Amino acid sequence: MRCVVHTSVGSDVFNENFHKKFVRNIQEWFNVDHEVTVWIRTDLRLFRDCSSSPCGYLEVFGFEKLEDEAYTRKLHKQISQFISKETSVPEK
């Protein structure tokens, strides 16, 4: 499974420890026990509905459950909260 998180947060706030925790959380949130590759795209100007959030949007490859919009919104909220907590960047 591959996951790309597009974020408006600057790259200077992410470190290796954050990335390891984030991968573990993604595995937990998606309930998968196989390898997950996570890329974090930073410093983006996001022009989507959720652009005020630290996590602008999420792309996931190899996971079918994201067809459920309610599940996707819940997951997006969890990711935004995690980024805010770990980086001290407030959710807007």
Secondary structure of the chain as H, E, C letters: CEEEEEECCCHHHCCHHHHHHHHHHHHHHHCCCCCCEEEEECCCCCCCCCCCCCEEEEEEECCHHHHCHHHHHHHHHHHHHHHHHHHCCCCC
For domain 2-87, the CATH superfamily is: Macrophage Migration Inhibitory Factor (3.30.429.10)
Residue 91: which pLDDT band, with cuts at 50, 70 and 90?
low
- For residue 51, pLDDT over 60 is answered with no
Residue 53 has a pLDDT of 62
Residue 12: pLDDT band (50, 70, 90) is: confident
Q: What is the pTM of this model?
A: 0.69
Banded pLDDT at 86 (limits 50, 70, 90): confident
